[in-house]
Structure 1
């Protein structure tokens, strides 16, 4: 029981500390791009890159917690894992490369980058709701 509580605590803290900043920074980048504020763009991109790496702790501790709780096969968790992979792909394969391109002078459309950053945020919001509500779980709300 104590192991589950420790793992869950680390999972939640990692989500708050890592995913929160990357979500905010990704959302702020398009406005900095529209203003052509290169210093802010560099700072926001660095935050996104660093916290994206730190964010890897979230699914690692999430899976460890789920295994400890015996819920690895639950639908809500599987959907959450798929959405987490999609969110990571959006960030790593689309948002970060578009930010990097903007820093190198290739101007991606700020509106498109804003939409993709918003999609990343929305995916994480859905994951958070699934983690709280846990549909079909006997321990869910």
Structure 2
């Protein structure tokens, strides 16, 4: 049963978290490209692409809730719920989810709303969104590394 839970956990992470990290990373540069230099009017046709990227982030963030649920089930089956690497991974996962919900998604919505309203998009806001997206991605990368090279791993690492 542990192998099945672990497989489902890893598959959920790949299928759910992968699209969020890619779409979130693509959003800030696409938002910057939508606003030409020199004060010209924003490219409102880019709003469709940005809306799609934002929707991917929102939908897959919801699907991503299966990752910690399956992770807890796997950890319980393996008897490692109290392990330091797992507690650290849980804390980093919660932090990543917090960054996504509190900083990335709302700023995407704000930039998208401004573009749809044919208002100028502040390049500083796009840069700040890129920073929060980078933090989100770094947290997930750290969790991934912890899951692979955790102390006491059966892989010999």
Structure with the higher helix share, 1 or 2: 1
Q: Which has the greater radius of gyration? A: 2
* TM-based fold match above 0.5: yes
Aligned-pair CA distance for 1:23: 0.2
Structure 2 unmatched runs, 5+: 35-45
What is the aligned residue count?
A: 138
Give the alignment's Cα RMSD to 1 decimal. Answer: 1.2
- 1:79-115 CA deviation, whole Å, 9 max, x = no partner? 0000000000000111000001111117451111111
Residues in 2 aligned to 1:40 and 1:34: alpha-carbon distance in whole angstroms: 12
Alpha-carbon distance between aligned partners in 1 of 2:27 and 2:49, rounded to the nearest angstrom: 8
Structure 2 SS opposite 1:139: coil
How far 1:39 sits from its partner (Å)? 1.2
Q: Whole-Å Cα distance in 2 between the matches of residues 93 and 103 of structure 1?
A: 16
- Structure 1 gaps, min length 5: none
Q: What residue is the counterpart of 2:146 in the other structure?
A: 130
Q: Which residue of 136, 145, 153 maps to 1:120?
A: 136
Match of 2:61 among 52, 58, 65: 52
Aligned counterparts of 1:139 and 1:87: Cα–Cα separation in 2: 27
Structure 1 runs, 4 residues or longer, greater than 3 Å off:
none
Q: Which residues of 2 match residues 20-99 of structure 1 at below 5 A?
A: 20-36=18-34, 37-99=46-108
Query: What is the match of residue 139 of structure 1?
Result: 154
What residue in structure 1 maps to residue 2 of structure 2? 4
Larger mean CA deviation between 6-15 and 101-110 belongs to 101-110
Taking structure 2 as the reference length, the TM-score comes to 0.85
